[in-house]
Chains A and B, each alone.
Chain A
Amino acid sequence: MNKPSFFDEMNGADGAVRSHYQTYRRWLSETPDERIARKRAEADIAFRRVGITFAVYGEEAGTERLIPFDIIPRVIPADEWKALKAGLKQRVKALNLFLHDIYHDQEILKAGRIPREQVEGNAQFRPIMRGVDVPAGIYAHIAGVDLVRAGAGEFYVLEDNLRVPSGVSYMLEDRKMMMRLFPELFSKHKVAPVEHYPDLLLETLRASAPNGVSDPTVVVLTPGAYNSAYFEHTFLAQQMGVELVEGRDLFVDNDTVYMRTTQGPQRVDVIYRRIDDDFIDPQVFRADSMLGVPGILQAYRAGKVTLANAVGTGVADDKSIYPYVPEMVRFYLGEEPILNNVPTYMCRKPEDLAYTLAHLPELVVKEVHGAGGYGMLVGPASTQAEIEDFRRRLIASPEKYIAQPTLALSTCPTFVESGVAPRHIDLRPFVLSGKEVTMVPGGLTRVALQEGSLVVNSSQGGGTKDTWVLE
């Protein structure tokens, strides 16, 4: 296997520190090791005390783990961010137009730009949304677009998360922690602020209220205290100053949604829901769901309440639709896509399957409906037995898989047991669509702490870094 060359965010190929990292690098080499060690311990204690944890599925119920935090920030120069931002706006706009289209006139299918069965045969396509008008035509109010930087320094979109993307609370807490630990760094750098994210989010949600509601009541709907992202739900509700509700706190009467309060029923207009489609209404989707609200879909379709994100967004971030996103940008906006898509082999196509089977050791194979880094094969990092296992699965049901070349994810220096070493990272900016498309500069940087690992998901042992966009 030939060793791929990685792009390092701090150090250039010639070994020289990149210009936007020079001030930081100097500071790091001038700061005594003991101080760094003390600060790292301080961060650990503070995160534990505040309880910034996430629950891990598959471990003992209620197991809470700390997401490792690395004190070396990921720095993005201003011009690079400017280009990314334009690309993200363009992409999310196109995705929202696509969602509106497929639930209404289906122009893109009629034009033959995407095979009809790819959309209508998709499990995430919700026929119940056909002909339903949502406020301002916005479906994905909150999008978490995963970006990676490959060998030559170019960015790729890895995934568009349009259902209930999480992680924004870590972005905010990481910044708070860095400012607390190393205030002097912020006087040496002009770091673009991110702390106003909850305000932007609230503004986005308020702007999405049903027609005619001028002062909407907004709530955050959580599956409950045992959900892996419960901390984030609590955090966002608190930061926005809105109620955090569970399904049992809401009821529907005459197509209107109310919450049960100590002062009697109170009408709810906008629901930032952190529950999947499948669980939101036992009358429509899974009947065994204890998390949802019976009748809420009826109220939603009647236009009496806004759900953010809308029902049925999953069809647009599905891995089988992903290859068509550049086509959406061209079709709806008449523009060339700014952000790159990763070349994708759709194993349902015989020629793509043949290619995939022939090149398994160098490809990444993913389940079309998988998420969270579960159920994927990273060819170069896998054993022969694992590859053969995937080969059998691919042959058995090729339509369930896509394959992509293994990207040489960029690295960033990171504190590990042996000192500072390069580790692979990605970036998840959070794109908000309300009256306009907005975002705070940067996003959440996730880092794969295992040497050589390309999987950054927190459920797979990933950590996070503060992300600096320099002004």
Chain B
Amino acid sequence: MLSRTADHLYWMARYIERAENLARLLDVTYQMSLVPQSPEAANQNWNAIIVLNSLEEPFAKAYGEPSAENVLRFMVRDESNFSSIYSCLRAARENAHAVRGTLTTEMWETINAAWIDLRAQSFEQIMAGGITEFFEWVKLRSALTRGVTFGTLLQDEAAHFIRMGGLLERADNTARILDVKYHFLQPNGEGEEGGVTDFYQWGALLRSLSAFEVYRKVYRDVITPARVAELLILRMDMPRSLHHCLDKVNHLLGLVGNRQSSETLRRAGLLHSRLHYGRIDDVLEDGLHEYLTEFMDDIYDLGNRISQDFLVPA
């Protein structure tokens, strides 16, 4: 298929997944802020979202000090912020529009309808309807798009690039959420591991990744940070884990491989095998933050290589 078409499909999927993950991240932050904490700690928590997206400068310019209200405003509905949920869904729709002929009618209508709905609402209207409901809506639209895509689209290259885009974005986002929250939640010696506060905080993190029930089912035990990390990084059958995403990306790359993509395949394979054979004790011993930072760099590199090999060849 045309490289440009593949590029639009890949980014369409990335932007939808990004909107979903952003909704998840904002949601968990919001849930955590409901647990009693000092105002400083709360604001620091919101600020972490800005830092995570490297948006300190534009945010400070437009809003000044971070608070729950203005971070939400900035990340949900601000049209000038290219990382907001609004901008992500707009970009997804623009990419879809450019390759409408490749999409099924159901896909186009789902993506277009989401955009039309969002465009019609101001931030105040969103807040009035309930921010949690809004995050649910974003997640549901993303799930719907995924559903009609795999329920209606021919499983050829187009589908492969759509999946690849979504999975790379998801891996990156899971790593980010885990990095920022793990750092914030790390036991500081006070209280005992597995205590009540931990339960709510880790519980919120797991819920935001649809992993709360999964955790229960897999471990049948109290929530501990190490197990949360293991579940989200190494657990192959957990759909949002790094291992799961890289396993699928690896497979898809094998399906679309061309004459110049062997180095990309090798790197993806290497990254996958580190997750496949890794142990959580080693990861934590070396430092989770360091581990995740390296992973995010590798994912970034992989994305660039996929672009060069398939999507925007020189």
Contacts and interface: CB of A to CB of B under 8 A. Distances in A.
A binds B: yes
B3 A262 contact: yes
Given A243-B2, A246-B4, A248-B4, A262 B101 contact: no
Interface in A235-255: 235, 237-238, 243-246, 248-249
B260 A264 contact: yes
B101 A234 contact: yes
Contacts of B157: 262
Interface string B83-124: 000000000000001101100010011000000000000000
Contacts of A50: 105
A249 B105 contact: no
Per DSSP, are chain A's interface residues mostly helix, strand or loop, or mixed?
A: mixed
A262 B258 contact: yes
A261 interface: yes
Contacts of A235: 101
A263 B98 CA distance: 21
B97 A225 contact: yes
A234 B97 CA distance: 11
A410 B126 CA distance: 55
Nearest to A248: B4
B259 A249 contact: no
A262 B109 contact: no
A209 interface: no
Contacts of B108: 51
Contact of B101 (A237, A248, A259, A260): A237
Interface residues of A, number: 20
A49 interface: yes
A454 to B, nearest CB: 35
A262 B98 contact: no
Nearest to A260: B3
A261 B100 contact: no
Interface in A42-89: 49-51
Given A262-B256, A264-B260, A234 B2 contact: no
A148 B157 CA distance: 47
Contact of A261 (B3, B97, B105): B3
Contact of B100 (A234, A259, A260): A234
Interface in B247-279: 256, 258-260
Contacts of B3: 249, 260-262
B310 A262 contact: yes
A198 to B, nearest CB: 13
B34 interface: no
Nearest to A259: B2
B1 interface: yes
Contacts of A246: 4
A249 B2 contact: yes
Interface string B1-14: 11111100000000
B283 to A, nearest CB: 35
Contacts of A238: 101
Nearest to A236: B101
Contacts of B15: none
A264 B100 contact: no
Interface in A185-229: 225
A276 to B, nearest CB: 22
B129 interface: no
A267 B158 CA distance: 20
Interface string B148-165: 000000000100010000
> Which residue, B3, B98, B101, B161, has most C-beta atoms of chain A within 10 A?
B101
B258 A263 contact: yes
Given A225-B98, A234-B101, A262 B6 contact: yes
Interface in B229-260: 256, 258-260
B130 interface: no
Contacts of B5: 243
A264 B310 CA distance: 8
Which 8 A/B pairs are nearest by Cβ-Cβ distance?
A234-B101, A260-B3, A262-B310, A238-B101, A262-B6, A263-B258, A249-B4, A249-B2
Given A237-B101, A248-B4, A264-B258, 6 more contacts: A49-B109, A50-B105, A261-B3, A262-B1, A264-B259, A264-B260
